[in-house]
Structure 1
């Protein structure tokens, strides 16, 4: 079986899933170069170290833990998205893509040894407790995160429903770390929400799971009388590749949606849309920001390249690599970066992101400046092919829609109150004041507690 999952930004695991994955049960590539004698010598060295640790470490270690951590260390040294999934983590990941699982409701990655929040999922315990994109989690119930693998940290955050956990947060704009208590719950992800909003159809896509394309189709059916649609992908960290393709296909009549290219020419795969624009050619505006990653970027890039939608907001995260999930005989799996993905125009998003057609920044309160570093800011990330890398952007979205300048601007475009001039994609000073150009500056971050 070979299935691609695009989850979000940064090796995202989680209390939610993230990245572009392909499930592959096939054999090792026959054309791979044979291991050299030096390679086997190094493997003998590993065996020597393993035996020395087993024999002489101050306490008797568990063999399985030593091997699991050695495998994970090998994979995580490649890039932030490759990792080892032990049997329980692999099972949990499969449950997450179906849209229901237990935990806090956050997409996370690891940065400099700490757990970093990529985005809280709408209406989950983490969201309700006030966790934000870019928060660093330094302690869990008073125990330091430093030294844990991402999977181990995620496991500590899971627990019985209604059981509280105290997470210690370092946040930009706060001088000191602080504690937040989150009560665990079953996370049921409703990936699509929609409503009639000030005369336009508003479709919020929070993640790409098995329910997403059906949800978008339902939204278009229910709001077929609307003159156009805002598709909100802000702080959507990704999900399943086939769902990103299907959502793109919903709005396209023909043409390529995305391609993936790996180490070998025969690895190239192209995914095309089928005839039938379910939005009937009505205007579409896609909202993105610094928390929009992977599957979100595929949809935004496809609709942008085909000039089917205007992309509005700030530059997306820049997660443009494909991870293949390869099941192992032990019931675990490895998540291995195997390809980059490209938009229909041949653009690689890796460490670059999607640049919006219309850049509109929010008016961000000083104590809520949420600015992602983007893929280009992750240590050990897969480099952009042309070395022209771009960092992240603001991930702030106001909770009150009347303050949401990006949404207001998008609605105005659909209703004809504003027009788009490709020669002047950045709003004028007057438009920025009305639709909201915020500060580019970032806030200071509190010191990491011991």
Structure 2
């Protein structure tokens, strides 16, 4: 396939040489494009004849394709048979490895986020960590595919990662046992009469799984809980349709998200249908720097419609849509084709979703010093055309007395996850306040002899 493509490129370049540039049939833009193609073929031939060692045609053409797409943005890429199969496997939610989302930055492998409850997460790998060695072998300067291939392997086998973390004086090693990453995209539990639904990734049928989780929670309690927490921390995203389905589950009406392409008319809007799966119950959404793409669509929709209170940290900031364009039965082009916008018209590109209440993860001893990787840190990221506010999104201006406890103090209280603890405490306080308000209104109602039932709007 690569060689046939090269033959077509050569034919185009030959045609350029035979057709006068000055003819009226060729526009200046077409002429410039043909000149660039001709220059590419010239360089290709020079490399083939003069490089110190023989070079395979496929390697040169693949390098040219990868370089072309990398110059666009961090998310466009060519998927060969292996990459295409890997993408399909991850979309289906089961693959072998460590459970890491990684990127390449300046020749180094950098962690975007570990997937929760995977070997990497349990081993303490953090967003922003650099992986410099695998089993003692330096991987700096290699490709991301090579590093990912090495991290994958037989379940039960062990690999040693050398980690460089900001705030640590020296690199340190972490040994991790590989496992089958059979992702359960949606899990749930009941804590203190609160339903906690965790979405690890937006693979197929996540919208259905969220609705089922609500049913299971209410069935186990025998009634509705006092509220819900939708936990999307360290969720790297996934399928747009599933993000729409999850948002729709909690919204009665209105726009969920719009995506806008290259041309003015390339606008597609998605709307909620009537029906709130939790019947208007209080809802808190948790996000952090690892919450990206589909996670941000859900958080942005629920926040803009004031259906949920968003807590945690500013999210990753990936506000672009990638379309999979098949090139053959086994290869495809993953190309950025649109930007998405929240119902209020905001783009999360670069800036991410700003929480309504910023809650630091005090139970993480490194949260103050550890660098957090976001879209704006990636080389070649798309610029937010709307613009960002000139403010420091990372540093609190004043110390907040609510968040003054140390990691040791939290451990003494048995608090392992401060952000979740704070979200649940907020729901409990809201419920108590609503109960007091209902009691007050009930007293007034009885004194006037009215029998109209009390209703509450959230």
Fold similarity call, TM over 0.5: yes
Secondary structure of the equivalent of 2:303? Answer: helix
Q: How does 1:227-376 map to 2 (within 5 A)?
A: 227-329=226-328, 331-363=330-362, 366-367=365-366, 369-376=369-376
Can you list the C-alpha shifts for 1:243-282, whole angstroms capped at 9, x where unaligned? 1110001101111110001111232110111111111111
Per the TM alignment, residue 191 of structure 1 is displaced from its structure 2 partner at its CA by 1.0
User: Residues of 1 paired with 2:392 and 2:362: CA distance?
Assistant: 20
Which of 51, 56, 59 matches 2:50? 56
Contact 2:93 2:184 (8 Å CA) reproduced: yes
**How far off is 1:122 after superposition?**
1.9
Residue 381 of structure 2 corresponds to: 381
Aligned to 2:417: 404
The residue aligned with 1:172 is 166
Q: Aligned equivalents of 2:137 and 2:37: distance in 1?
A: 35
CA RMSD, Structure 1 to Structure 2 (Å): 2.4
**Number of equivalences:** 385
8 Å contact 1:372–1:392 — kept in the other structure?
no
CA distance 1:34–1:207, change in 2 (3 Å): farther
Q: Higher helix fraction: Structure 1 or Structure 2?
A: 2
Question: Would you say the 8 A contact 2:347–2:386 is kept in 1?
Answer: no
Q: Answer with 256-265 or 404-413: which moved more.
A: 404-413
- Three-state SS of the structure 1 residue aligned to 2:423 is helix
CA distance in 2, matches of 1:107, 1:391: 26
**Structure 2 residue aligned with 1:148, among 125, 142, 148?**
142
In 1, Cα distance between equivalents of 2:29 and 2:81: 28
Confirm or deny: 8 A CA contact 2:317 2:352 kept in the other structure: yes
Question: Could you tell me whether the CA contact under 8 Å between 1:202 and 1:232 is conserved in 2?
Answer: yes
Q: Deviations over 1:303-327 (max 9, x none)?
A: 0111111111121111111112212
Report the equivalent of 1:70.
64
Pick from 39, 44, 50: which aligns with 1:45? 39
In structure 2, do the counterparts of structure 1 residues 303 and 404 end up closer, same or farther at CA, with 3 Å as the change threshold? Answer: same
User: SS where residue 265 of structure 2 aligns?
Assistant: helix
- 1:371/1:393 contact within 8 Å kept: no
| 1:85 paired to 2:79 | yes
The offset of 1:55, in angstroms, is 2.3
Distance 1:292 1:136, change over 3 A: same
Indicate if the aligned counterparts of 1:209 and 1:240 stay in contact, CA closer than 8 A: yes
1:51-74, Cα deviation, whole Å (9 max, x unpaired): 222223222222212211210111
Aligned to 1:196: 190
Match of 1:443 in 2: none
1:182: Cα distance to partner? 2.2
Partner Cα separation in structure 1 for residue 119 and residue 365 of structure 2: 25
Aligned-partner SS, 1:416: helix
Structure 2 unaligned spans of 5+: 1-26, 219-223, 396-406, 434-458
Contact 2:202 2:294 in 1 (8 A): yes
Question: Which has the larger Rg?
Answer: 2
Match in the other structure for 1:101: 95
Contact 1:373/1:391, CA 8 A, preserved across alignment: no
Segment of structure 1 superposing worse, 322-331 or 294-303:
322-331
CA contact (8 A) 1:373 1:393 kept: no
Q: Is the 8 A contact 1:173 1:366 kept in 2?
A: no
Matching residue within 124, 132, 144 for 1:130: 124
* Alignment check: 8 A CA contact 2:128 2:372 kept: yes
3-state SS of paired residue (1:281): coil
TM-score (norm 1): 0.80
Structure 1 residue 79: Cα displacement: 1.4
- Give the secondary structure class of the aligned counterpart of 2:246: helix
Cα deviation, residue 183, structure 1: 2.4
Q: Is the partner of 1:90 in helix, strand or coil?
A: helix
Report the Cα offset of residue 366 of structure 1: 4.8
State how far apart, in whole Å, the 2-side matches of 1:216 and 1:48 are. Answer: 56
State the match for 1:217 in structure 2.
211
